[in-house]
Amino acid sequence: MSETLRSLASRAWHGFLAYLLKFGIVGLIGLVIDVVLFNALRVGVFGTDTWAQSAIGAKTISTSVAIVFNWLGNRYWTFRRHRRRHVLREFAEYLVVSLGGMAISLACLWVSHHLLGFTSLLADNISSNVIGLGLGTAFRFVLYRYWVYGHHRSDGLSNLARVEEAQRALFEQPPLEQAAPAVDPNGAAADPAQSPEPRNQGG
């Protein structure tokens, strides 16, 4: 029973929980980058009276930088064994999933603020940064794990490695078997190193 539980725990860790932990760490660092950069732009650290200092400009820049950081962190750490050979296609799919997660957060905010009438700042933060962020994070993790970096992707590095290994096993020549030593009628194995002595044909 204990062996079965250990086996199940090992599968859960290596197949899901380890990815989830790394994904959470990368996402947390990305969130810090987003918040710090947004506020730095808003207070004019990188210049004043520019589009980057406006609320929309600052949020656009900070979110874009955070998305790129998260992609690099997940590509080269969280899902490094399953990263894709076609980098641009991988990034495009990653971006689509990221925008989908953001849309979920915005949808939660819209429902709470406009449909249900919870218009306070606290309600907006709960709907967007608690409920929306939680649902969006779950959405992104599942699609990153099983679509962008899924085992089925033909250009994934782990899948390519398995294909190459299978091809080598298919086309490699098997080792030649050594011939069994001959056995004489008396049951003794003949020594191949010994050759029959030539007959003396003296006159």
Question: What pLDDT, on a 0 to 100 scale, did the predictor assign at position 58?
Answer: 86
At residue 183, the 3 state secondary structure works out as strand
Phi first, then psi, for residue 65 (nearest 5°) are -65, -40
List the chain domain ranges.
1-78, 81-166
SS3 content of the chain, % helix, strand, coil (to 5): 70, 0, 30
Query: What average pLDDT does range 87-114 have in this prediction?
Result: 91
CB 30 within 8 A of CB 66: yes
Question: What pLDDT, on a 0 to 100 scale, did the predictor assign at position 151?
Answer: 80
**Per-residue pLDDT band at 83 (split at 50, 70, 90):** confident
Q: What is the pLDDT of residues 122-131, one digit of tens each?
A: 888 888 888 9
Query: What average pLDDT does range 54-72 have in this prediction?
Result: 89
Which residues does 64 contact at the CB level (< 8 Å), separation at least 6? none
Q: What is the pLDDT of residues 136-185, one digit of tens each?
A: 989 999 999 889 988 877 766 655 555 455 545 555 555 555 545 555 55
Q: Which amino acid is at 68?
A: V
Tell me the CA distances in angstroms from 157 to 22, 39, 95, 164, one per residue in order.
19, 38, 20, 10
Query: Of 184, 88, 100, which Cα lies nearest the Cα of 141?
Result: 100
pLDDT of 86 > 70? The answer is: yes
Q: In the chain, what is the straight-line distance between the N-terminal and C-terminal CA atoms, in Å?
A: 87
Query: Of 43, 44, 33, 102, which Cα lies nearest the Cα of 68?
Result: 33
CB 110 within 8 A of CB 87: no
